[in-house]
Structure formats: structure tokens, C-alpha cells
Chain A
Amino acid sequence: MDHFWQLSFGDGLVVNANTIIMAWAAMGLLLLFGWWTTRNLKLIPSVAQSAGEGVYNFCRSITFSTGGEKADGYLFFVGSLFLFILLANLMGQLPLKLFDPIIPTGHLMAATGDINTTAALAIISLVMYIALAIKRTGIKGFLTHHLHPSPLFLPMNLLEHITRPGSLLIRLYFNILVGEILSGLAISIMPYVIPAFVVFLELFVAVVQAYIFAILTAVYIALMTETHDEH
């Protein structure tokens, strides 16, 4: 991909500077948003505090719809995952050509349009749901979860630990990559009107993909942390 601006150090170590710039910009914007919305908390909220509360309520609705009250324990994780992916996806649609002297070819692509970012996010979510399962149900509960419907399901239950993060990473990566390729194609066909429709489609896709990633992570955590004597 000529979108990538790659730096090579020594032999074998390649850094995707594009991804690093966009990911750190997204993180910085999120930090700024958090600081701006929680600067002086009051009972009667200011505009900034209302915005922050709206975002918090939406993130809570994601975990609450899957895990109920118990899910508040991992709201911080699912919420930050959602906000980071949302911002990183949306930033891919900005026409960031400003850095042209620094970046030789192409425009700055979304951080989630790089398989390394999405793989990292998927692995974090895998580690998180295993850790939460061990914390809430104990080692024994976690291990016996694999034998749950019947011991015959053991291979499938073990395979799920590969297919769940794998499907998370493939879904997010290829959705964003398709969007980037599509907008590049639209710009090469006609740079004035056609890309607008693609950008609208991609804004929708960005929100839906962030929501799906967060809600699937919440579902996986809720599935792993449930105890089997409840049902």
C-alpha cells in the first residue's frame, strides 16, 4: 500500500509512521476531550459536562444491554475501546494532506486501517475477557467453562479463543481498508462530487464498526464471566 509511510530501522524493524501519528492523535484528542468534560464537575452540568455525560451514557448502554448491572465493572474497558476505535475510524475520513512535505505519498490513513492496530486491539480484548473470567469465576470456573454444554465441545470452545479475536480484527481492518480504497478510487474517478457520497457511507461504517467491536467485546466478556449455576 502506498498509503503507508514506513520507516526502516536496521534490518527487519519497520515502523508504520502513519499509524503511529494517527493513533497518537486519536489518543491525544480523547485525553483532551476527557480533560475538557471533567474539568469542574457540578450538579447542574455545563455544556462540556453534558457532552461527557452523554458519551458516558452511550458507552454504558453498550455494556448494560449485554451484561446488566454487573457489567459496570468493565465499562471503563469497553467504553475506551469504543471511543478510541470511533475516533480512529473517523479520523481516516479527514483530508489530511497538510503533512505532504513530511509524508511523501498518499494521505494519512485511519489508524485502524492497519492490521497491527486492530490485531493489538483484538489481543487486548482476548486477554481482558480471559482475565475477567478468571477473576470472576476463578481458575476452576474458567476451565470448566470449556466443558460446559458437554465435554465434546472442548475443541470448539478452545477454538473460540482464536476465532473471536481473529474475527474482531479482520472485521475492523477490512471494513476500514475497503473504505480507504473506495475513497481513493472515487477521488481518482472524479475528485469533486463522487467522493462526498463515499465519505458519507464511510462515516456510517466507522460508527457501526466501532459499535460492533465494543458490543462484541462486551458480549464475549458477559459470556465468559457468567456462572453456570445461574441458568
Chain B
Amino acid sequence: MFDVNAAAMLSAPIAVGLAGIGPAIGIGMMASHYFDSVARQPDVQGAITPQFFITLGVVELLGLFGFVAFYLVFSKIFV
């Protein structure tokens, strides 16, 4: 017995979880290197903070694609 709705409801949270792995690792590495470099050379903080946030935005977008899949599936089921 295969229930399509149940499979779809299972797939949506899995998509969010799997999509979160990569950006989580990426943002973690990015932030750790950011803190390392600021601790080593506090002068550069003003120069690299904007770059940090640009990269944060770019990396974070990848995590949101999982939520896009979640949203598409759930708006199909519950509408």
C-alpha cells in the first residue's frame, strides 16, 4: 500500500534537513575563519566584515532551496 500524500509529507522535511547540511558546514567554516582572521589582525575587521556578509547571503541561499521544496510540496497538499 503506497500513499502518495504520506510520501510527499515525508519528503518535505527530509528536503529541508538535507538542504541544511551543506550551508551549515559552509557557514560554520566561514565564521570560524572570519574569527580567526579578526583575532590575528583586528585591523582588517572593517574591511572583511562586508565580504563576510556577502558570502553569508550567498551560502545561505542554498539552504533556502530546501525550504522552497518544502513550501511547494506543502502548498500542493494542503490547498
Contact = CB atoms under 8 A, between A and B. Distances in A.
A178 B67 contact: yes
Interface residues of B, number: 14
Contacts of B56: 208, 212
Interface residues of A, number: 18
A193 B27 CA distance: 29
Interface string B34-70: 0000000000001100100110111011001001100
Given A62-B50, A66-B50, A215-B50, A171 B57 contact: yes
Nearest to B55: A212
Contacts of A212: 53-54, 56-57
Most buried by A among B53, B68, B71: B53
19 contacts: A65-B50, A167-B58, A167-B61, A170-B61, A170-B64, A170-B68, A171-B57, A171-B61, A171-B64, A174-B64, A174-B68, A175-B64, A178-B64, A208-B56, A212-B53, A212-B54, A213-B57, A215-B57, A216-B57
A194 to B, nearest CB: 20
A62 B67 CA distance: 29
Contacts of A66: 50
Interface of B: 46-47, 50, 53-54, 56-58, 60-61, 64, 67-68, 71
A211 B56 CA distance: 11
B65 to A, nearest CB: 8
A79 to B, nearest CB: 15
Contacts, number: 39
A175 B23 CA distance: 14
B76 to A, nearest CB: 14
Nearest to A167: B61
B22 to A, nearest CB: 16
B69 to A, nearest CB: 11
A219 interface: yes
Nearest to A219: B54
Interface in A149-207: 167, 170-171, 174-175, 177-178
B54 A215 contact: yes
A174 B69 CA distance: 11
A21 to B, nearest CB: 23
A210 to B, nearest CB: 11
A171 B68 CA distance: 10
A213 B67 CA distance: 19
A5 B5 CA distance: 28
A179 B53 CA distance: 19
A171 B61 CA distance: 6
Interface in A35-69: 62, 65-66
A66 B57 CA distance: 15
